[in-house]
Structure 1
Amino acid sequence: MARWWWQGRGQELSASVHDHLEALLPHDPPIAQPVPPKAVTIVALRLKYQLEAVIPCELPIDEITRSHSHIITKYVVKTAANAGGDEHRACVVFALLIVKKWFKAQAGRELWDADVHNARATACEVIAKQIIETEDDMAYLLGEVLLKRYSIVEGGEDTKPANVVERAVDLHALTVIGSSGYQKCISHLWRGWLVQDGDDPSRFVDYRKKVDTRFWAHFDPDRMRVPRYQNMVQILMSLIYLVLYSFAVNTINPTGDLDIVEGLLYLFTLGFVCDELSKLWKVGIYYISFWNTFNSTLYALLAVSFITRMIALSHDVHSGQRKRFNEMSYNFLAFSAPLFWGRLCLYLDTFRFFGVMMVVMKVMMRESIIFFAMLFIILVGFLQAFVGLDQVDNNVTAVSFVVKSMLNAIMTSPDFDGFDNYAPPFGLILYYLYTFVVMVVLLNILIALYNSAYADITDNAADEYMALFAQKTMQFVRAPDENVFIAPFNLVEIFGLVIPFEWWMSRKTYARVNDYVMAGIYSPLLLVTAFMEKRQAFAVHSNRRRGAEEDDVVEPWEELEGECDFKDDGWAERVEGSKPNLEVGAAVREVGKLRDEVRELKKLILELKGDERDGN
């Protein structure tokens, strides 16, 4: 496969005419000078001053977010857009997100003015969205506004550079994420139409070959950096991982010997563990989340299963110890089945239904922390009371019974019979009180928290899904590896490339070796992606020829749109005369009509008075 890839490279170089024509076209924009962090900070301070003047007191959020708001008017948006002047106009949206972060932090510290600060933070998002959606120059919007990295001054030092796309994901700015320009940017990143510059990874440039209709031009291992293709490989590996587990858990080896399926299963697990550890090493403690903990639990169970299997193999074939450890290994393996199937949801969140449900579950888990904190305190208090009642006779014998009964009550299955003779009447009364607190009070609080979380997410289901999709895209784009080896292929990188070659081989040669290996590993998938990109190139070429956007899709209602001339047939004039004026409310329109009528009445009265004076 590597030979085919280099043949494709040769074919690409032989297309000299195409290359000469491409050389005549404009390529990447020249590298712009970075904006000084101090200048960005001054722009943010200007915007903060403006927002404090525009929203001086508590206002309903609906008045700020609704279309044609009388608070965030077009004049307010225009003023904010000019906060950086002509020189620093591109950093205004980034500065607005910084101001939003400031207002959110201020709302947490100044609870007496939290509503005001939260309203100002919402206004920052609304203004940023309108600035994004009113920008006509798409190249400028993507390259300078959304993807260019900026810094501010904090504590006398420059912060780590970030762009609008990253900052919006970090701040969970749903309004900005839901803007059309932002989503177009995410779409281009997901498809690989915007890629990081090889010379400067902080810059994003257009993928030049997206209009190249040659098949072998797209057979490139570097394209595995594209988020869409990485996600495809992850889903494929997860399905294979699940199939291996299903075969392993349903084909038990009584002798305890490892077969090929189980060997591959544990090999996959090792690759996933190495991938998690490498990401934790690079990102730090902030990498730990619900899904990392979920995966780590699964990998820990499989590690215990593997270790007990190795212990079993160390004993004689017909010994009882080998049988016992072998059974224990399979028990751990079977016990992890729910985690295996639940893990699949992590890679299906690109589909809208699964994505929204993942957000709901994430919020529910966060809300559960309040419940479990209160439950822990109550459990400890009642457990101490029950143990105290049991040790009155200096003989503690019922601890296991008490713990089991308390846990049954949490699972809504209390057992009152066992407390009839437990330090009567205190034991039974105490258990009744515990059951009431747990089942009636705490569990209903948990249900209310879950209902609130579900309602909040489903009301904003579309925005939440777009935010999740943007976050997933940025996970692939942010600080990507120079050579993409997706688990379990990372084992090939670790033991086949890094350890034997990286420490002594020149960087150029090592990169070439990586290209050979990646071409061989991903060649079946690259054949598919090259075919997809070739078809996509024809569509892009057709859209450019029509003068449309590169990702434009001709809808049924657009097919005959060019044959309609609504101005000549009078339809546009009729529509213009009948459409409502959304910028002015109904009450304001009626008051305006009344004012015109009063003005006419006043004019008539003045005319009558003038006629009377002339008659006299």
Structure 2
Amino acid sequence: MAIRRALTMPVAAFELEGRRLPRATVNGSGQDDYAALLPTTERANHFYITPRQVSTVCMKLRLMLDELIPIEIKESRITRPGAASVITPAVVETALEAASGEHKACIIFALLTCKHWFTKLAYRELYDADLNSLKATACEMIAKRIIESEEDQEFLFKEMLCRRFSLVIEGEVTDERNALELGIDLHALTVIGSSGFQKCITWMWHGWIVPSPIKPSEFISYTDVAVPDFWTHFNPDRIKTPLYQNALQLVFSIVYLALYTGAVNTANPGGNFDPVEGLLYVFTLGFLFDEVVKFYHIGIYYFSFWSVFNDTLYGLLIVSFVFRLIALSSPYGSDARHSNEILAYQFLAFCAPLVWSRLLLFLDMQKFFGAMLVVLKELMKESVVFFVLLIIIMIGFLQAFVGLDSADGYVDTGVMSVSYMVRSVLQSPEFEPFETFAPPFGALLNYFFTFVVSVLLLNILIALFNSAYEKVYDNAIDEFLALFAQKTMRFVRAPDENVFVPPLNLIEIFGLILPFEWWMPKRKYAKLNDYVMTVVYSPVLVFIAFYEVYVAGCILRNRSVGEADDDRQEEWEDPELEDEIQASGWLKRVREASPHAELDPGLYELQQLKNQIDEMTDSLNSLKEQLQSGKAVSVKSAGGKGNETETETLLDVDTTTRSSQE
């Protein structure tokens, strides 16, 4: 039961829709029985869409958004569901026509590209910032409607979300990106929070969608997901799965914390390295190499709050290591050796809050910690404005204090001024030292600085923090989903044929790449990597294989009853009882009594009145046609047979009745 809950945790946490998903391919020796049961095969190579064609689709959508939202309106008219929204089903169909036929795969990428363009315009053209922001929001809403209305999940995952596209900008072709990466980079919460997007991310998290072994930048289905064979899943390539990489990183981080605790609490009087401290720096070197490699592959988009946090920690530990080497290079018992050794341990102890806080990086899978981490990141961003203002003001006042002090030709209170100014920022101002400092200018400047910092700047900081907190918690679920998507893409975005989780990447660098990769044939080098990874990860692969065998059994049971691969039976689900209730007419009665939540009450009444008027108009038009056709028949009958027989029409009856009454 615990394993089953672990399997379905992301799906249950995100409350994804239970749509039916494509069945995976089952190939390979010893799998004929499963192949007969599941005949689905991998999709053929997709139709190539040139960068020029993608750019054309983007331009069509941009022009459509300009016509759709020509003036500023309320954002609720764009985000509200149903017919009350500006994004009507007809608008969504029109957007799909912009990428009709073989170009449909790039529609989500094109909409997100348009969002990026409108967002840039909002920052560049401030006089139309609100209008361009509305258009960017409309792009997200249209993309969400298309994702949630797409019935072919295989096409949605592989073509619309995971397939990479590029644009032509000023005659140059841009780098390829897919809709998943672009949505996460743009922080498009509406798109990220859609069911199809999150299902795709969840499949990547479990390793059901994996990078292609031929072209790692593309994604394919893991064909053995439903094969309950132990040795099939005892494969070192399964380490690429984000779920298993995250688990390994958590284990190594706990070991890293234990090594740090042992090193910082056991100082060596002689200044020599002990095994615990040596392993600590080996782990740090592995983590540092991993950061460099990911930055090389991903670029500036890799930098985030946690990457900067980790880089700061590794930098301080490297500084401690350097001071230890300087201490060891000095003669034993010398003052230089002793001072550098103390300084190295001080840097090492200074890292303790960072090392312990690093564990929060692996608690973001829980909604509470994930939302709090997002809040913390936003607070750090908002505080940048405060610190910029604070630094400028402090420099100005510091220059004034130094100028007052240098009036007599000597500068002897510069450090004291900085110390007192910092205390004022920390709500502990000092007034007495400035009473005798260049009176009365010193005291006046100190009072003015304390007022500006305590009353103005700190209240601005509080307001910024409050705004950031409300902004995140108003979209707490979407922010959590975005955090999960960003973490998943962090594992698969930098394609690596051989995944060695830090600090095991040191084995790859110094044991494989440097001595063998530069001269060994590619095929033999790949086999060597497989052998090394199998040996290194063999204890972990045993647990992975048993876990995936259990998962394969759950998937086969779901498929036997026609359910989705990631579905699970809930306590309130009873198909037989649901069929009985539906047959009794209960749902029909509920639909008749239920209010229409998609429309406002007044708008719904107007819609009903419009429908009645339309029905009445159709009835009158039909009656008019009948009357006209009856009169024509009467005239034809009278003219064709010499008035021998006359056909009495409704008009004649009505005329005769009125004449008799008169």
Same fold (TM over 0.5): yes
Opposite residue 427 of structure 2, the aligned amino acid is: T
Distance 1:553 1:614 in 2: 79
Q: Indicate yes or no: 2:275 matched with 1:265.
A: no
From 460, 471, 475, give the equivalent of 1:445: 460
List aligned pairs for 1:118-517, cutoff 5 A: 118-517=133-532
Q: Indicate yes or no: 2:43 matched with 1:29.
A: yes
Q: Deviations over 1:499-534 (max 9, x none)?
A: 111111111111111111111111111111111111
Shift in CA distance, 400/476, structure 1 to aligned 2, threshold 3 Å: same
Shift in CA distance, 419/174, structure 1 to aligned 2, threshold 3 Å: same
Shift in CA distance, 578/301, structure 1 to aligned 2, threshold 3 Å: same
Opposite residue 220 of structure 1, the aligned amino acid is: N
Shift in CA distance, 421/226, structure 1 to aligned 2, threshold 3 Å: same
SS of the residue aligned with 2:225?
helix
Cα offset, 1:293, TM superposition: 2.9
Shift in CA distance, 337/614, structure 1 to aligned 2, threshold 3 Å: farther
Cα offset, 1:614, TM superposition: 9.0
Distance 1:479 1:307 in 2: 30
Cα offset, 1:246, TM superposition: 0.5
Q: Which residue of 1 aligns with 2:593?
A: 578
Cα offset, 1:294, TM superposition: 2.3
SS of the residue aligned with 2:210?
strand
CA contact 1:225–1:480 (8 Å) conserved in 2: no
Distance 1:14 1:75 in 2: 50
Distance 2:315 2:659 in 1: 103
Q: Deviations over 1:345-381 (max 9, x none)?
A: 2233232222222221222221122111111110111
**Aligned pairs, how many?**
599
Cα offset, 1:286, TM superposition: 4.6
Shift in CA distance, 586/17, structure 1 to aligned 2, threshold 3 Å: closer
Cα offset, 1:613, TM superposition: 11
CA contact 1:273–1:299 (8 Å) conserved in 2: yes
Shift in CA distance, 415/43, structure 1 to aligned 2, threshold 3 Å: same
Q: Normalising by the residue count of structure 1, what TM-score does the alignment of the two structures yield? A: 0.92
Cα offset, 1:164, TM superposition: 1.3
Cα offset, 1:393, TM superposition: 1.3
Q: Which residue of 2 aligns with 1:100?
A: 115
Distance 1:316 1:288 in 2: 42
From 91, 96, 104, give the equivalent of 1:81: 96
CA contact 1:235–1:348 (8 Å) conserved in 2: no
Distance 1:176 1:213 in 2: 35
Q: Deviations over 1:538-561 (max 9, x none)?
A: 111111111111100111111355
Q: Indicate yes or no: 2:59 matched with 1:45.
A: yes
Unmatched 5+ stretches in structure 2: 1-26, 620-654
Distance 1:578 1:186 in 2: 38
Q: Which residue of 2 aligns with 1:8?
A: none
Q: Normalising by the residue count of structure 2, what TM-score does the alignment of the two structures yield? A: 0.86
Moved more, 353-362 or 457-466: 353-362
Q: Deviations over 1:284-334 (max 9, x none)?
A: 455444333322222222222222223333445444444333322222211
From 51, 57, 73, give the equivalent of 2:71: 57
CA contact 1:389–1:423 (8 Å) conserved in 2: yes
Distance 1:468 1:167 in 2: 14
SS of the residue aligned with 1:208?
coil
Opposite residue 43 of structure 2, the aligned amino acid is: P
Distance 2:446 2:572 in 1: 69
SS of the residue aligned with 1:195?
strand
CA contact 2:297–2:494 (8 Å) conserved in 1: no
Shift in CA distance, 594/96, structure 1 to aligned 2, threshold 3 Å: closer
SS of the residue aligned with 2:410?
coil
SS of the residue aligned with 2:164?
coil
Shift in CA distance, 319/577, structure 1 to aligned 2, threshold 3 Å: same
Moved more, 299-308 or 214-223: 299-308
List aligned pairs for 1:544-559, cutoff 5 A: 544-559=559-574
Distance 2:356 2:500 in 1: 24
Cα offset, 1:48, TM superposition: 1.7
Shift in CA distance, 594/300, structure 1 to aligned 2, threshold 3 Å: closer
Distance 1:481 1:365 in 2: 32
Shift in CA distance, 575/13, structure 1 to aligned 2, threshold 3 Å: closer
Distance 1:599 1:322 in 2: 95
Distance 2:530 2:180 in 1: 30
Cα offset, 1:572, TM superposition: 2.1
Cα offset, 1:192, TM superposition: 0.4
Distance 1:414 1:565 in 2: 75
Shift in CA distance, 416/203, structure 1 to aligned 2, threshold 3 Å: same
Q: Deviations over 1:163-207 (max 9, x none)?
A: 211111111111111111111100001100011221233332111
Opposite residue 48 of structure 2, the aligned amino acid is: P
Q: Deviations over 1:565-616 (max 9, x none)?
A: 234312122112101123432113444677799999999xxxxxx9999966
Q: Deviations over 1:456-513 (max 9, x none)?
A: 0011011011111111111111132111111111111111111111111111111111
Distance 2:295 2:591 in 1: 59
CA contact 1:213–1:537 (8 Å) conserved in 2: yes
Distance 1:190 1:506 in 2: 33
Q: Indicate yes or no: 2:554 matched with 1:539.
A: yes
Cα offset, 1:402, TM superposition: 0.8
Distance 2:602 2:124 in 1: 40
Shift in CA distance, 289/91, structure 1 to aligned 2, threshold 3 Å: closer
Moved more, 43-52 or 557-566: 557-566
Distance 2:112 2:142 in 1: 10
Shift in CA distance, 417/479, structure 1 to aligned 2, threshold 3 Å: same
SS of the residue aligned with 1:565?
helix
Moved more, 204-213 or 560-569: 560-569
Cα offset, 1:221, TM superposition: 0.5
Q: Which residue of 2 aligns with 1:5?
A: none
Shift in CA distance, 130/593, structure 1 to aligned 2, threshold 3 Å: closer
Q: Deviations over 1:40-78 (max 9, x none)?
A: 222222222222222111011111101113311111112
Highest Rg: 1 or 2?
2
Q: Deviations over 1:80-137 (max 9, x none)?
A: 1222222322222221111111211222222212211111111111111111111111
SS of the residue aligned with 2:597?
coil
Distance 1:614 1:266 in 2: 115
SS of the residue aligned with 2:77?
helix
Moved more, 87-96 or 560-569: 560-569
CA contact 2:47–2:102 (8 Å) conserved in 1: no
Shift in CA distance, 13/283, structure 1 to aligned 2, threshold 3 Å: closer
Cα offset, 1:232, TM superposition: 1.1
